[in-house]
């Protein structure tokens, strides 16, 4: 592939990507005019995102993580992070938080350049990440709006207990829903929730089909870089909406066509020619150099066939679907089941399953400075996975939205060495050879 | 016991990374068991009621050469988990029959999973405390969690833990909380008599000793400290904040006092001061422990504050109660709770006109001169402001 092709004008996009771009753009537009139009605005996080519930109250839905990553992809987050640090936030803490706070300090313009409204309610779904709790305390400090706190217990022993589920359900019924009713002025209608959940389940079926299409050879998708696009609607302001369902129907058809034609994933430079290396990747991506980062993979014929990050907003490939017959309980199970709410042993099991099921050649860990929820323990996970699967494992370090922590030369160098190692092992026909 | 002997004993316990006193306790009786716990809070009463010894595991400090532990953690993760892993891998924690990981932060949470992967023969429990402080919601959840913990301890002990066992333990820990409150009140009133490095060592001893022994030790210390007269220095009075998990090197605390600051309140070993009043002895003891947590537990950066107006109030109250003139934020590097919370706490102090300064440390920080200079400048500036 030519380097010229990597320039913006030549970037190739799938139809579904264009569809999603329009959806995201429309949501930012809706956010910018929400208060003028008399609508209320909610803010919440991707893991434990109760989008179906928020839709019941007609909130226009804002997700600060999405704002931060969108700002990073538009090269804006670096300035926001430094702005937050200038105002006293430590260089050691999460760059999503600092990007969000810096954006607020610099006039609260969203990634598309349009103003973001002050939220009317913060739905603090404390799911799988300690930082979320402090993040919304910090945001609350600035906005002075209501906060609905939902504490989601951690699945430390690899299972959801009745006590955990009851606790989440109780909070939803006794506190979260009444707060959302009060702030929105809309009475809760459980049938409306059921309808939204029905839509979610349809989209989830299609998403799982798309993600599992990577079991094909060649894989018709990249389940990390491409997978992030595929998860976009379901992780953000759209799960439970008819437009999300339509998006996933279109996406599924697109991927089915590629399988039929024996095509690989679509990259920013077109369809990948040759699949040489199949990887499972753990950890979030870097957003500030997203395309450069992806290019380091597809230039070497490396395709990601499964990733943990595409499970951060919900683990669906082990069978969970939102259940309209048990609407509140299913919201609890959804939150409890998000990837970073799983114990380390459960995460290791899941990643080993992926290595096997997706016939991967190697396991790569992208360790993120900002994200202790993901990162703490990853070096042990790496060893465990290498030992259990016998496949080579690699480790790189980047950050979410702080461009100072993406070192292109180092990352590329490490990746190239790692890919060479995999190819040498493959050439020798090695399998389960780890000491 | 003479003051210097008490301090020396505490210093010996502090420096003993082989947990000799714990091993001795274990060997002194048949089938004795020891449960380790990380900061910040676990209900030690239940461990004690099971006939076991709760032991605070607080990392390796500045005395441990971390060789293996660094291989488990990236450079941007705090120091306490890597030195704790080092303690375990080098066999120093073999005396533990179980390990508890409270819901302090994501690093301690994930350390529970690492323990599950590496030390499968032990009782390993992530101890999730509620961030919802309504009796009928968070209280119900926590009561059931406590009951589950009690059952797990019963299984390990091989016998039931009766309500009366728990009540007896609550009584002992109430007495311990009471004597620690006396110690803190005494230091606040006459900080020249109670140097903070000594308070720290006494509190650390409480992480290793049986509770009744520690209670007696603190009583003895107070009596011994009152029996001597120490010189009053022209120091300012400060509260230090941020030391609730990763531990400061002892030299850091000495540096702060040598720089001209009397520490009159702190957040050391919060497990011993978490419950702010006596836990009732009558009624259901599990319910009482749960209710104490929900309704009158301490505040720290690991805890959610439901109302914006209450954010930082505990620190302002601590300053007012102890007559402090300023706050020193000493936060461990890469500590999410402390560092994310700090700007909000600083705002709360600023709103009340309370001066503060902030720096970071690691448990093995060796260069303390910059901290001493910063603390000294802070003390000087407080005195100048006071004079004006």
pLDDT of residue A431: 54
| CA atoms of B245 and B362, how far apart (whole Å) | 11
Chain A contact probe: residue of B70, B118, B128 with most A CBs at under 10 A: B128
B236-289 pLDDT, tens digit per residue, is: 999 999 999 999 999 999 999 999 999 999 999 999 999 999 999 999 999 999
Instruction: Provide the total of helices (H) and of strands (E) in chain A, helices listed first.
Output: 17, 10
User: What 8-state DSSP symbol labels residue A288?
Assistant: T
What is the pLDDT, as a whole number, of residue A91? 96
pLDDT given for residue A435 in this prediction? 35
Could you tell me which residues come within 8 angstroms of residue A266 by beta carbon, excluding any fewer than 6 positions away? A12, A13, A14, A226, A258, A272
- Say which DSSP state A342 is in: B
**Residue A13 pLDDT:** 72
Neighbours of B87 (CB within 10 A): 24
In B, minimum Cα distance to A166 occurs at B141
CA distance linking residue A302 with residue A305, whole number of Å: 9
Q: Kindly write down the DSSP assignment for every residue of A229-260, as one continuous string.
A: HHHHHHHTT-TTSHHHHHHHHHHHHHHHHHHH
Q: Provide the pLDDT for residue A15.
A: 82
CA–CA gap between residue B88 and residue B104 (Å, rounded): 20
Domain carrying residue A101: 13-193
| Rounded-to-integer distance, Cα B173 and Cα B81, Å | 28
Per-residue pLDDT, A224: 98
Contact A149 B306 (CB under 8 A): yes
Per-residue DSSP letters for A270-294? EE-----EEEEEESPPPSTTHHHHH
Our count of domains for chain A comes to: 1
pLDDT value of position A344: 98
Query: Is A53 domain-assigned?
Result: yes
Residues in CB range of B295: below 8 A, 6 or more apart? B133, B135
pLDDT mean values, one per 10 residues, chain A (435 residues)? 44 81 95 97 97 98 96 96 97 97 96 95 97 96 92 97 98 98 98 98 98 98 97 97 96 97 95 96 98 97 98 97 98 98 98 98 97 97 97 97 97 98 88 45
Q: Which of B77, B103, B113 sits opposite A344 (nearest CB)?
A: B113
- On whether residue A316 sits in a domain, the answer given is no
Instruction: Confirm if A16 and A251 have CB atoms less than 8 A apart.
Output: yes
Q: Inter-chain contact B337–A372, Cβ cutoff 8 Å? A: no
Dig out the tokens for B135 from the structure. Answer: 């009796």
CA pair distance A364, A354, nearest whole angstrom: 12
Q: Could you give the ipTM of this predicted complex?
A: 0.96
In a domain, residue A152? The reply is: yes
Residues A164 and B57: their CA atoms lie apart, in Å, by: 27
Residues of chain B with pLDDT under 70: 386-388
Q: Is the peptide bond before A218 cis (omega within 30 degrees of 0)?
A: yes
Distance in Å, alpha carbon of A263 to nearest chain B alpha carbon: 38
pLDDT at B180: 98
- Listed in sequence order, the DSSP H helices in chain B are 3-15, 20-27, 44-49, 80-89, 106-118, 140-157, 163-189, 196-205, 211-226, 250-258, 285-296, 313-322, 336-351, 369-387
Residue A396 included in any domain: no
With CB atoms and an 8 Å threshold, state whether A126 touches B347.
Answer: no
* Gyration radius from chain A CA atoms: 21
d(CA A99, CA A66): 11
Specify the DSSP element, H or E, that contains B78: none
Which residues in chain A have their CB less than 8 angstroms from residue B342's CB? 88, 90
**Could you give the domains of chain B?**
3-165 (3.40.50.11890)
Nearest CA distance, B342 vs chain A (angstrom): 8
Closest residue in chain A to residue B146, using alpha carbons only: A163
Q: Does residue A76 lie within any of the structural domains?
A: yes
Look up the CATH number of the domain holding residue A114.
3.40.50.11890
Mutate to test the interface with A, among B76, B133, B332 (most CBs of A within 10 A): B76
Closest CA in chain A for residue B143: A163
Residue A349 lies in a domain: no
8 A C-beta contact, residue A375 and residue A347: no
Question: For position A430, what pLDDT does the model report?
Answer: 65
Backbone angles phi, psi at B50, to 5 degrees: -80, 0
Residue A278 counted as domain residue: no
d(CA A301, CA A312): 26
B76 neighbourhood in chain A, CB within 8 Å = 92, 369, 375
Residue A142 covered by a domain:
yes
Give Cα B129 distance to the centre of its chain. 16
Q: B97-121 in b/e burial notation, b at 16+ Cβ within 10 A?
A: bbbbbbbbbbbbbbbbbbbbbebee
A94:B340 CB<8 A: yes
């Amino acid at each position: 592939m030519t380097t010229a092709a990597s320039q913006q004008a030549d970037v190739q996009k799938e139809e579904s990507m264009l569809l999603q771009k329009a959806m995201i753009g429309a949501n930012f537009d809706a956010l910018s005019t929400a208060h003028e139009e008399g609508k209320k605005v909610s803010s919440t996080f991707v893991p434990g995102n109760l989008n179906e519930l928020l839709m019941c109250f007609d909130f226009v839905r804002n997700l600060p993580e999405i704002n931060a990553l969108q700002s990073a992809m538009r090269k804006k987050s670096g300035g926001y992070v430094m702005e937050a640090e200038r105002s006293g936030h430590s260089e050691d803490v999460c760059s999503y938080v600092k990007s969000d706070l810096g954006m607020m300090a610099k006039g609260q313009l969203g990634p598309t350049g349009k103003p973001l409204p002050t939220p009317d309610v913060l739905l603090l779904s404390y799911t799988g990440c300690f930082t979320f709790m402090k993040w919304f305390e910090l945001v609350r400090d600035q906005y002075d709006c209501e906060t609905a706190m939902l504490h989601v217990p951690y699945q430390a022993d690899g299972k959801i207990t009745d006590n955990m589920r009851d606790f989440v359900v109780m909070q939803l019924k006794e506190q979260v829903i009444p707060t959302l009713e009060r702030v929105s002025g809309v009475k809760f209608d459980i049938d409306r929730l059921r309808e939204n959940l029905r839509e979610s389940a349809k989209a989830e079926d299609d998403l799982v089909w798309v993600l599992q299409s990577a079991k094909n050879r060649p894989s018709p998708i990249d389940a990390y870089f491409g997978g992030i696009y595929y998860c976009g609607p379901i992780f953000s302001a759209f799960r439970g909406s008819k437009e999300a369902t339509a998006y996933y129907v279109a996406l599924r058809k697109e991927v089915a066509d590629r399988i039929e034609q024996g095509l690989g994933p679509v990259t920013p430079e077109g369809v990948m020619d040759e699949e040489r290396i199949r990887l499972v990747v753990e950890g979030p991506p870097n957003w500030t150099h997203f395309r450069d980062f992806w290019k380091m993979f597809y230039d070497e014929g490396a395709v990601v066939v499964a990733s943990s990050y595409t499970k951060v907003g919900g683990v669906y490939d082990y069978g969970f679907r939102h259940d309209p017959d048990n609407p509140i309980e299913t919201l609890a199970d959804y939150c409890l089941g998000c990837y970073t709410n799983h114990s380390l042993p459960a995460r290791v099991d899941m990643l080993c399953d992926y290595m096997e099921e997706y016939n991967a050649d190697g396991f790569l860990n992208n360790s993120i400075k900002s994200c202790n929820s993901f990162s703490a323990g990853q070096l042990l996970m790496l060893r465990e996975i290498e030992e259990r699967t016998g496949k080579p494992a690699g480790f790189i370090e980047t950050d979410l939205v702080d461009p100072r922590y993406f070192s292109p030369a180092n990352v590329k160098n490490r990746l190239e060495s790692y890919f060479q190692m995999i190819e040498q092992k493959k050439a020798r026909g090695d399998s389960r050879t780890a000491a | 016991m003479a003051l210097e002997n008490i301090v020396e004993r505490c210093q010996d316990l502090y420096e003993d990374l082989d947990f000799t006193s714990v091993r001795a306790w274990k060997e002194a009786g048949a089938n004795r068991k020891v449960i380790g716990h990380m900061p910040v809070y676990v209900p030690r009463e239940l461990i004690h009621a099971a006939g076991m010894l709760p032991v605070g595991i607080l990392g390796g400090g500045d005395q441990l050469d971390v060789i293996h532990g660094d291989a488990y953690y990236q450079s941007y993760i705090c120091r306490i988990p890597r030195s704790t892993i080092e303690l375990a891998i080098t066999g120093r924690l073999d005396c533990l029959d179980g390990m508890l990981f409270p819901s302090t932060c994501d690093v301690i949470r994930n350390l529970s999973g690492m323990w599950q992967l590496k030390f499968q023969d032990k009782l390993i429990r992530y101890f999730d405390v509620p961030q919802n402080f309504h009796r009928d919601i968070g209280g119900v959840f926590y009561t059931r969690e406590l009951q589950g913990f009690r059952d797990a301890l019963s299984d390990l002990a091989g016998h039931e833990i009766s309500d009366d066992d728990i009540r007896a333990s609550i009584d002992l820990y109430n007495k311990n909380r009471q004597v620690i409150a006396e110690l803190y009140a005494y230091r606040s009133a006459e900080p020249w008599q109670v140097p903070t490095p000594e308070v720290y060592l006494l509190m650390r001893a409480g992480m290793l000793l049986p509770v009744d022994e520690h209670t007696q030790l603190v009583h003895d210390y107070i009596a011994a400290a009152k029996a001597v007269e120490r010189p009053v220095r022209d120091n300012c009075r400060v509260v230090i904040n941020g030391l609730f998990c990763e531990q400061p090197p002892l030299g850091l605390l000495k540096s702060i006092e040598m720089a001209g600051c009397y520490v009159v309140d702190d957040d050391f070993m919060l497990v011993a001061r978490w419950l702010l009043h006596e836990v009732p002895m009558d009624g259901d003891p599990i319910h009482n422990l749960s209710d104490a947590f929900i309704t009158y537990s301490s505040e720290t950066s690991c805890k959610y504050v439901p109302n914006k107006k209450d954010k930082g109030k505990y620190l302002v109250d601590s300053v007012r109660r102890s007559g402090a003139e300023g706050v020193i934020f000493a936060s461990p590097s890469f500590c999410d709770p402390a560092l994310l919370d700090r700007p909000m706490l600083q705002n709360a102090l600023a709103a009340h006109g309370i001066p503060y300064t902030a720096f970071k440390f690691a448990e093995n920080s060796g260069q303390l001169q910059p901290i001493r200079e910063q603390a000294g400048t802070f003390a000087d500036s407080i005195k100048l402001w006071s004079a004006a």
